Amino acid sequence: MNFFKIIFFLGLPAMFVFSCKKDEPKPPVDPDHPDLVYDPTPYQLAAPAYFPLLEMPADNPMTEEGILLGRMLFYDPILSGDSTLSCAGCHKQEYAFSDENQFSTGIDGLMGDRQAMPVMNIAWVSDLFWDGRAEGVEAQALGPVENPIEMHETWPNAMEKLKRHPEYPSLFFYAFGTWDITKEHAAKAIAQFERTLISADTRFDKKFYLLDPNPFLLTDEEIEGHFIFNTEKGDCFHCHGGSLLTDNLFHNNGLDANSADEGLGKVTGKTTDRGKFKTPSLRNIALTGPYMHDGRFATLEEVVDFYSDSLQFSETIDPLMKNVHQGGIRLTAQEKSNLIAFLHTFTDTAFVHRKEFSNPF
Amino acid sequence: MKTFKIMAVAMFALSMFAFLGCDDEKQPGFVTVYLDHDVAGEALEFDNIKYTSKAGHPFSVARLKYYVSNVTLLEADGTAFEIKDVHYRDAAEASTRSFSATNVPSGKYEKISFIYGLDETVNVDGGLPNTQTNINMEWPIPGDQGYHYMKLEGKYDSLGMGVIKNFNLHTGATMGNQNYIKISLPLSAFSVDGNTWGIYLEMDINEWLENPNTWDFEEFGPMIMMNQNAQEVLKANGSTVFKIDKVEKE
């Protein structure tokens, strides 16, 4: 082929491209799949106005297509070594995307030593895991697949399985405009789906943020519990306050005199961080037991007994555990049950039943 | 070549005129305010029971978070320039150490004044932007409103039984009292005129515990958010916690 012919053949399609540019830019079309068009629909996260201002990563804009792909990957055991366990195997919607077991079991029958955390309102979490070791939702999503006690797969293997799958390649194309399936794209899609898991439809929200005038919205016991929670009597609000019911900071709440799990201390290497863990959000708390990083408490009764009477002093116990010198906040049986009643107003029944969050298969 | 040299000299002279001309018009200046902390002159080190309060308790500091607001420079004739409306300081976060104004009008300023905490116009529910940081400073006690002005927290040796206890100096509006503190500090030889200044404010944490009132951790206990007597004591002590460490051209 001579030089002019090359120019001609290159020039012909180029002319089309240029003439196209004159009007609306057309989405790229893949020559091997001319019937598929990359034209994702932007998705606006619907967050309550009273939630903290949201910082979204600039390199992972949410789209309908990305969320759909993420939802499928979240529920599909294909990402695990023997194709039996998905994210949802440990993060179950009925328990606000947490695990009802003290320790979750991975595909090899192995268990970790941390309780599976609920995945909700995750768009507002920047340091993930109990000890904050993962920075960002995308970074976290890469972890479980290769974790030997969880899904125990390699990403290259998982990618191969996705590439051979009849549907995933086109779903990746719709979401990211490329046939080159990467683990980064998989993590981005999962993160997009996780960010949609917003829980804010509770009696607590109606009463205290939406100012619903219905006088019967909360019982007298629940209102009493609210006073305990939001005054120094119970003093829960200093860590579990605000609309997210967490400060998203790290504290030692006095579980142990000598914490076996170093928590944040392991991550920062500081002895002054020993035994500190991320304050869990108390949203849906009635659904997310067992409680604490090691799932040591089966019920909310046990949790409240602990805060009332069994705090353990250590050098790193948080100053906000104001009454550690007397064992805790010392509640009466009635006060304890009022506080627990209030904790139940954080339950979002719609969240655990929403179709858009459920298994798509 | 010669003409070129002449031109260069002429250009230089012209630019000098231009420069002086600007100077005559008085240029706005750039002022940065720094917030630093010590305990009786010792550098602040967290989580170490190495300081002693006037009441005799060895103590440590775990956290120091607070707001200053309406930070203002004042000239002798009362002309005022606000450097910053609200600033949040976390002594553990270097990024919160300072704030700046780039357009400070030229003039001789005699005082820097500010509010420790928030005044009643800002200290209402939702008065500050809904950031996680501001939400964490909320004061949700039913009947009260707004934000904590300060969280100064740590541990102390209660003496006697050798028991280590927690202390929490939380200040804010309670029981209908606003409790914010107006602070004003004199500046000397501080003229803004197209130049860049740093004003270094230093808080001596011990001042909260001794001047004019001796604060005994045992006396008020760790829970003072609804205790107006305790708030009054801290309000009185708070007016002397800051001094100007230095004012420097940068």
Contact A53 B165 (CB under 8 A): no
Mean pLDDT of chain A, nearest integer: 92
Backbone angles phi, psi at B186, to 5 degrees: -75, 140
What span, in angstroms and rounded, lies between the C-alpha atoms of A151 and A167? 22
Q: Dihedral, CA atoms, A70, A76, A82, A88, nearest 10 degrees?
A: 90
Query: In this complex, do B166 and A52 lie within 8 Å of one another by their Cβ atoms?
Result: no
Chain A CB contacts of B141 under 8 Å are 230-232
Chain B, window 175-234: residues with a beta carbon less than 8 angstroms from a chain A beta carbon: 222-223, 225-226
Q: Are B131 and B110 in contact (CB under 8 A)?
A: no
ipTM confidence: 0.88
Q: Is B97 on the interface with A (CB under 8 A)?
A: no
Report CB contact under 8 Å: B130, A51.
yes
Residue A16 CA to residue A19 CA, distance in Å, equals 5
* For testing contact with chain B, the best of A54, A226, A238 (most B CBs within 10 A): A238
pLDDT band at A102 (very low <50, low <70, confident <90, very high): very high
B226 contacts on A by Cβ (under 8 Å) = 231-232
Q: Residue B7: is its pLDDT beyond 60?
A: no
Is the predicted pLDDT of residue A9 greater than 50, yes or no?
Answer: no
Does A8 have pLDDT greater than 50?
A: no
| pLDDT per residue as tens digits for the range B79-105 | 999 999 999 999 999 999 999 999 999
Helix axes A183-195, A155-164, angle to 10 degrees: 80
- Report the pLDDT averaged over residues A19-40: 67
Distance from CA of B5 to the nearest CA of A (A): 53
**Residue A238 to chain B, least CA–CA distance (Å):** 7
Q: In percent, how much of chain A has pLDDT > 90? A: 88
- What is the pLDDT, as a whole number, of residue A1? 38
Residue A19: pLDDT band (50, 70, 90) is very low
Q: B50 in contact with A at a CB cutoff of 8 Å?
A: no
pLDDT at residue A28, rounded to an integer: 65
What span, in angstroms and rounded, lies between the C-alpha atoms of A325 and A302?
Answer: 20
Let me know: does A160 contact A81? Beta carbons within 8 Å: no
Minimum-distance CB partner of A50 among B130, B158, B226: B130
Query: pLDDT confidence of B6, banded at 50, 70, 90?
Result: low
Q: Is B142 on the interface with A (CB under 8 A)?
A: yes
Average pLDDT estimate for B134-141: 95
What one-character DSSP code corresponds to residue A21?
H
Higher pLDDT, A339 or B13: A339
Q: Taking residues B163-189, what's their average pLDDT?
A: 95
Higher pLDDT among residues A74 and B143, named by residue: A74
What confidence tier does B145 reach under pLDDT thresholds 50, 70, 90? confident
Percent over 90 (pLDDT), chain B: 82
* pLDDT at site A25: 57
Within the 279-318 window of chain A, which residues sit less than 8 Å (CB to CB) from chain B? 313, 315-318
Digit-coded pLDDT (tens) for B191-219: 998 899 999 999 999 999 999 999 999 99
Q: Do residue B135 and residue A322 have CB atoms under 8 angstroms apart?
A: no
Tens of pLDDT along A197-236? Answer: 999 999 999 999 999 999 999 999 999 999 999 999 999 9
Q: What is the mean pLDDT of residues A4-26?
A: 43
A-chain residue closest to B148, CA distance? A238
Peptide bond into A169 cis (omega under 30): no
Which residues in chain B are contacts of A315 at CB distance < 8 A?
47
Both tokens assigned to A160? 């191969």
Q: Do B223 and A230 touch (CB under 8 A)?
A: no
Q: Beta partners for A63? A: A42
The per-residue pLDDT for A254 is 98
B3 pLDDT band, cuts 50/70/90, is low
Cβ contacts of A313 on chain B, cutoff 8 Å? 164
pLDDT of A54 above 80: yes
Coil, strand or helix at B146: coil
For residue A155, pLDDT beyond 80: yes
pLDDT one-digit tens code per residue, A311-353: 999 999 999 999 999 999 999 999 999 999 999 999 999 999 9
Element (H, E) at A96: none
Of all residues in chain A, the one with the smallest CA distance to B144 is: A231
Helical segments of chain B, H only: 2-24, 132-136, 217-220, 228-238
A52, A235, A320 member nearest B132 (Cβ) = A52
pLDDT given at position B13 = 47
Among A142, A145, A135, A136, residue whose Cα is nearest residue A185: A142
Which of A208, A272, A320 should we substitute to test contact with B (largest number of B Cβ atoms within 10 Å)? A320
Bridge partners, residue B90, by sequence: B65
Q: At residue B14, does pLDDT exceed 90?
A: no
Cα-only R_g, chain A:
25
CA distance A323 to chain B (A): 8
Work out the angle at residue B53's Cα, subtended by the Cα atoms of residues B50 and B59, and round it to the nearest 5 degrees. 40
Q: Give which of B44, B61, B130 to mutate to test A binding, by max A Cβ within 10 Å.
A: B130
A87-109 average pLDDT score: 96
Mean pLDDT of all residues in B150-170: 92
The reported pLDDT for the residue numbered B5 is 53
Position B68 confidence tier, pLDDT thresholds 50, 70, 90: very high
Report residue B18's pLDDT band, with 50, 70 and 90 as the boundaries. very low
A189 pLDDT more than 70: yes
Q: What six digits make up the tokens of B50?
A: 């190495």
A 106-145 residues inside an 8 A Cβ radius of B = 124
Nearest-angstrom CA–CA distance, B163 and B156:
8
Looking at beta carbons, which residues of chain A come within 8 Å of B225?
231-232
Contact A272 B168 (CB under 8 A): no
B164 CB within 8 Å of a chain A CB: yes
Phi and psi at residue B181, in whole multiples of 5°? Answer: -120, 130
